[in-house]
Structure 1
Amino acid sequence: MAGPIQVNERIVLYDIIRGFALCGIFLVNIPTMLGSDWISGRADYAGSDLLVRTLFDLFVQTKFYTIFSLLFGIGFSIFLERSYARGDSVARYIRRIAILFLFGLVHLAIWSGDILHTYAMWGLLLPLFYGLSNRAILTWAWSLLIGSFLLFYVSSMYLELSLGFRFSGDPFPAIFNSGFGPWFDYRLDEEIFDMFQNSFFVGVEILSLFLFGLYIGRERKLLTWSIRGLTRTAIICTIAALPFFAVIIWHHYGSGAEYSATNSAAILVSGKLLATTYVCLFTIAVRNGRAFRPLQALGRMALTNYLTHTLVVVLPVIALGYYGRLSLTEGLFLSIAILIAQAFFSMWWLKSHRYGPFEKLWRIGTYGRQKQAS
């Protein structure tokens, strides 16, 4: 039986886009990792923090997990295509997903923003769709995406009515700066169950994005679509996002409301549009011969770099009692510095290794050590 997909078979484009998505995900995550932002926003943005929050909502928030989810679907299509070609059963895919879930479970115990366990939970459903026609896959994908938008807006309206457009109190208990023991107990006793519930809530949208990725991967759309078609799509999506941008800017600088369901919906929908623009633009650049080696290296080690974010941010912040003490702007500069360091480290590591540390563990668990190249 043949071994796993080799490095020389990788589609460089996907690695580059994955590296770009990783950067955006870290920018989104680091405010809550540091405690400089709340999950749903906060009331006291001012000066540079207000500008950063606005720019995040315009160009970062909801854009990059969208891309990451699409890439998961693309990767799934490639994995199963190769698995069926060499006669593997779906059991190997299930084992791969189970290992991802274990990674996510451990990560979730440390930080509430883990996405890996959610990907694993909903990724288990993908084999049920693999045998469907492209038309059926797109029908399911669009239906689930529209349904997720409606579900999100209804829940956001309920939250808006509950809050009365205002946040109350500090959502971060003092226990976050009480050392590892009390903090970890709180994570296991309180937050981890809320995150599992949230995984079911966001799963409809995640599954829809997986299915779009499955379709793109099956049809090799990013590799075969004309440059003209990609350019047209990027322009249309950007123009379509402009009204939502206006809503976001008004929310931050004109409305006076601390929370708005309409603003949250604008961020969500614009995220899908701008994510499409980003993917199209990177595809055009790569197909025109542009090399993005730092992003490619980050993308090849995306799992390792994603998990490392928690190790180098959350754990030191909790240990030093700095949770909630850094501003949004300071967090932005810190995240940029960490991403630059990770890019250099990833390029250095890949000079002598075929995979990142966690990528290699994942492959060993999936294929067995005897099939794992040294």
Structure 2
Amino acid sequence: MTLGSGDKNKIVPVSAGNRIDYMDLLRGLAIFFILIANLRWFCLFTPGFNGYFVFPEMDHLVHKLQHLFIEGKFYSIFSILFGWGIALQLKKSKKDDATTAKFIRRRLSFMLLLGGIHLFLIWEGDIVFLYGLVGFVLIALRNLSNRSLLITGALLLLSPIVLYFIKMNFSWFNWPSEYLTMAGEKFYQLNGWIDQDTSRTQVLKESKSIFTNIAITLGDAPYRFAYLFFVSRIPKVLGAMVIGFVIGRSEFYSKVLKHRKKTLWVSIIGLMVFVPLNYMLITYFEDSSAYYALQVKGLYYTIVYAFSVFPLALVYMLIIALLYENSVIQKLLKPVCAVGRTAFSNYIMHSVVGIIVFYGIGLGFMQQLGPLAWTIFAVILFSLQILVSNIWLRYFKFGPVEWIWRSLTYKKLQLLAV
């Protein structure tokens, strides 16, 4: 959402016609590939188990391709878009910087509220709550020059290398992750779910109580943040947001389209460099035990990750920008923009569908799908979301969650019907 002019005392949303379709397309595509990545956790897939829709040889190949082309790239794009969107809000607002920043902080506060409901009551894999927290830091950095922001963003994206090295040599530096893990373990012990990887799974498979599901989700939240701290996700997300903020403020997108040949060559070279680096990442570091044991091989993994995953995400953005300039491709991809415009609602819907399909409280298909099957499932679900989102936007201005978010932000019910 961007901001437009309102009356003297109010900040009001810009009409849908002024949105950047390219951003909505990226957001929609990111939602799809994040769904594929998240389904691995809804399915609680473990290599070697036998389910109804597990095909070992094909699953191994598909899982490897998912790691190569999807893992980490699309949450990076989503983070870039988040920073880009905030830059547009500040740029388009007719109000002074302090007033607009105050408005954005209020918007982030309600984002935290909605993300917290998702994180603590629906599914622990939520990313919205983290985005809301990190967004406050981004707002604090907004008045730095583009050059300073680019340097800051690059340092943040590379910081996991230094942070991992420090954790290898000073165990106390990993205290936040260890403390949160202990908090999660205590919660599980109180409920009799001592082994997170087996007992928890068994409870989710067999439980028919929504309150049990909520209890497990509450217990999983500390584990979630322990993981985010351990893998240095927070500086990665902030770094990507800062880069996105510069892209939005400098109008880099329009500049890219003015130099299509250069952009094409940069994209080709980027693919030639960063796809092999990502292949190295998944091939030579397939066993993650060294990483979590803070061994030297884990440091090598962190270095390769820093120089391969985010750069490939940027290359994806350039390629999509070039493709979307073609009228035929634009016509084919245009329906995906509707998913991007209702991204928050569609993201929450993934969790609701995941629980209904895979947990015991619903159809109980947990551990029955391998990577090939859950990819097909994702394609079917996303196709339905494209259809429903386009129909919805014929009659309504916003997705249902977006409408709640806007109404809270503007302190009054927003007109929903078109």
Would you say how many aligned residue pairs link Structure 1 and Structure 2?
357
Larger mean CA deviation between 138-147 and 178-187 belongs to 178-187
2:354 aligns with one of 298, 313, 317 = 313
Counterpart-to-counterpart distance in 2, 1:336 and 1:153: 39
Counterpart-to-counterpart distance in 2, 1:103 and 1:186: 19
Deviation per residue, 1:105-161 (Å, 9 max, x gap): 1111221210000000110111211111111111111111111244357769999xx
Residue 163 of structure 1 is matched in structure 2 by: none
Larger mean CA deviation between 176-185 and 293-302 belongs to 176-185
Counterpart-to-counterpart distance in 1, 2:204 and 2:113: 25
Residue 383 of structure 2 is matched in structure 1 by: 340
Deviation per residue, 1:25-81 (Å, 9 max, x gap): 1111111012125xxxx5779311111110001101011000000000000101122
Larger mean CA deviation between 286-295 and 118-127 belongs to 286-295
Counterpart-to-counterpart distance in 1, 2:228 and 2:94: 30
Return closer, same or farther for 1:59/1:202 CA change in 2, 3 Å cut-off: same
The alignment's TM-score, normalised by the length of structure 2, stands at: 0.78
2:151 aligns with one of 139, 149, 173 = 139
Residue 253 of structure 2 is matched in structure 1 by: 222
Give 1:139-218 correspondences, 5 Å limit: 139-151=151-163, 171-172=197-198, 173=200, 174-179=202-207, 180=209, 181-188=211-218, 190-200=219-229, 201-218=232-249
Counterpart-to-counterpart distance in 1, 2:248 and 2:380: 33
1:326 is paired with a residue whose SS is: coil
Counterpart-to-counterpart distance in 2, 1:156 and 1:323: 36
2:93 is paired with a residue whose SS is: helix
Higher relative contact order (CA 8 A, sep 6+): 1
2:35 aligns with one of 18, 26, 40 = 26
Return closer, same or farther for 1:76/1:99 CA change in 2, 3 Å cut-off: same
2:17 equivalent to 1:5: no
Return closer, same or farther for 1:149/1:349 CA change in 2, 3 Å cut-off: farther
Structure 2, unmatched stretches of 5+, are: 1-6, 50-54, 175-194, 291-297
Residue 181 of structure 2 is matched in structure 1 by: none
Structure 1, unmatched stretches of 5+, are: 160-168
2:105 equivalent to 1:94: yes
Give 1:233-248 correspondences, 5 Å limit: 233-248=266-281
Aligned-pair identity in percent equals: 25
2:141 equivalent to 1:129: yes
2:88 equivalent to 1:78: yes
Counterpart-to-counterpart distance in 1, 2:65 and 2:364: 28
CA RMSD of aligned residues (A): 2.7
Counterpart-to-counterpart distance in 2, 1:268 and 1:31: 23
Q: Rg: which structure is higher?
A: 2
